[in-house]
Amino acid sequence: MLRKPAVADQFYPGDPQKLQALIEAFTPRIATKLTALAIVSPHAGYVYSGMVAAETFAHAVIPETAIILGPNHHGLGDRLAVTTHGKWQIPGAEVAIDSALAQHLLSESPLFSDDNLAHAHEHSLEVQVPFLHYHGVKKIVPICASFMPYDACRQAGEALARTIQQAGQPIVMVASTDMTHYESRGAASQKDHLALNHIKALDPEGLYQTVITKRISMCGIIPTTIALVAAIRLGATKATLIRYTDSGEVSGDTDQVVGYAGLIIS
C-alpha cells in the first residue's frame, strides 16, 4: 500500500520545499529536550496549529519509530484501524510502515484490526507525519480510533504498552487532537484546561470522564486516553504542557475558536 496525501495543499503545503521551509520556520531551537513516551499534538491546518505542533515536537527527543493515534473524523472503517503494510507518502518523501510492530500490536488485542479504509481521507494522522519525518522518524504505525468506552481505551492502552515494551527499541506515541471547537475563547480555555489538568495529573480515566460529562469537544479524546494509559504503563511520571492557544491567535476571531494544545508525557 502507498497511502498518498489526502490533505496536502489544504492543511499544509503540497510543495516539498515550501513544506520544509514552513516547518523550519515554526521549529524553535531547544537546548534541553525531554525523552518522550508520548506526545499530544494538534492537527488543524498548519497556519492555525502548526506552531504549537512544531514547538512541541522540538522539545522532545524523537526516536526513529512512532506510533500515531488519531481520531476518526469520517466514520469509515474499524474502530481501532491499523495500517500494517506499505508506505505513507508526504510531499517529497515516503515513510515506511513498521509492519512487524503493527502485526505485533494486532496480536496483543482483538480491539485492533488491519484496516486501511479508515485512513483513506483522515487528516488527523497525516498532518503529524511531516513533523515526524523532519525530526528523523523512519517508520510509523498509524492507528485511526473511533469512539469507545473507557474500559476499551484502557485495554487498548495496555496492549499498546506491551507491544512497545517487547519491541526492544525506542518508540514514541503521538496522540493527535484538537481541543474545544467553536466556542468563545473564554469558554474554550476554561473547558480545555479541565481536560489538560487531567493529562498533567496522568489521570486517563479522569480525562475521559471529564471530556464526556462536561461535553468538551476534544476530538482526539480516544487517542489521547489510549496513549496516556500506555505511557503510564511504560513508566511515565510527568506530563508537560508545552503550549496552549486557539485559532483566534491567527484569525483574530475570539468568539468562535478551536483550542490547540501540545504536551509531552515523559
Domains in the chain, ordered, with CATH?
2-27+38-265 (3.40.830.10)
Residues 237 and 200 sit within 8 Å (Cβ to Cβ) = no
- List the grid coordinates of 166: 517487547
Q: What pLDDT is attached to residue 14?
A: 97
What are the tens digits of pLDDT across the range 80-129?
Answer: 999 999 999 999 999 999 999 999 999 999 999 999 999 999 999 999 99
Of 100, 129, 108, 93, residue with least CA distance to 17 = 93
Q: What pLDDT is attached to residue 23?
A: 98
Q: What pLDDT is attached to residue 16?
A: 98
Q: What pLDDT is attached to residue 98?
A: 98
Q: What pLDDT is attached to residue 56?
A: 98
Q: What pLDDT is attached to residue 250?
A: 96
Q: pLDDT-derived band of residue 1, with 50, 70 and 90 as boundaries?
A: confident
Q: What pLDDT is attached to residue 223?
A: 98
What are the tens digits of pLDDT across the range 43-65?
Answer: 999 999 999 999 999 999 999 99
Q: Could you tell me which residues are beta bridge partners of residue 41?
A: 176
Mean pLDDT of 132-158: 98
- List the grid coordinates of 243: 503550549
Name the percent of the chain lying above pLDDT 70: 100
Q: Could you tell me which residues are beta bridge partners of residue 262?
A: 243
What are the tens digits of pLDDT across the range 11-42?
Answer: 999 999 999 999 999 999 999 999 999 999 99
Q: What pLDDT is attached to residue 82?
A: 98
Calculate the alpha carbon distances from 57 to 22, 23, 222, 256 in Å. 14, 11, 21, 27
Mean pLDDT of 166-195: 97
